[in-house]
Amino acid sequence: MSTVNNPSALTVTALLPHAQAGDRAAMNDLLRHIAPFVGRLCRAVARRHSSDAAQEAMLAIYRGMGGLREPSAFYSWVRAVTVREAVRTSKRLCKGTGDELPEIAQDSNPLTFVHISDVLDRLSHQHRQILTLRAVYGLNEQEMAIALSVPVGTVRSRLHRARGTFSAAWHEIHT
C-alpha cells in the first residue's frame, strides 16, 4: 500500500523516527494515534480486563519503540505486542475465570450469536483463547505460540482440540 494514499502510514512514517529519537511530542502523538487500535485488540482478547491490558500494551509499545527498525512493520509489531500483553494480562487477572471471550459480531440471525456464545462458554479458557487468536485476529500457529509463550506444538494441539470441542458442542445444539 502506498504511503501517499494512506494518511496513517504518513503519520507513522513521519512520527516514528522522531519518537525513537526521544521527541516526547512525537511519541505522544504516535501513542495517541494507535490507542484506538490497541483498545479494540485488548477488548477482544482480555474482555473484562481490557483497560488493564491496553495500558500494559501501551507501556510495552512505549518501551520497545526504540528497537523497531522498519516503519512499514509498525502495525504488525503493535498488533503482536498488544495481543501478547492482552493474553498475559488476562492470564494474570482472570486466573481461569473465562472472561476472555471474543466480541462476536451479530449476523442477520440474532439466534446465531446466542448459539456461538453458548458454545464458546462451554470451552476451556485455553480453547477460547486459541480460537479467538485464530478466528478474530487471523494469527498463524507461530504468531499464536509467541503471543501465548508456548511451543508451536502446544498451539497445534490446543487448536485441534478446541476445534473438535467447538464442533461437537455446535452439533449438539443443532441436532
The one-digit pLDDT tens for each residue of the chain (175 residues) are: 434 445 555 578 888 899 889 899 999 999 999 999 999 888 877 777 888 889 999 999 999 988 888 888 898 899 888 888 888 887 777 654 433 334 444 445 556 666 777 787 788 888 888 888 887 777 888 888 888 888 999 999 999 998 888 888 888 776 6
- 36 and 75 inside one domain: yes
How many separate domains does the chain show?
2
* Enclosing domain of residue 142: 101-175
CATH number at residue 107: 1.10.10.10
- 17 and 78 inside one domain: yes
- 62 and 22 inside one domain: yes
- Give the per-residue pLDDT at 100: 39
Question: Residue 63, Cβ neighbours under 10 Å: how many?
Answer: 10
- 77 and 115 inside one domain: no
66, 97, 128 - which closes a domain? 97
- 86 and 111 inside one domain: no
97, 113, 141 - which closes a domain? 97
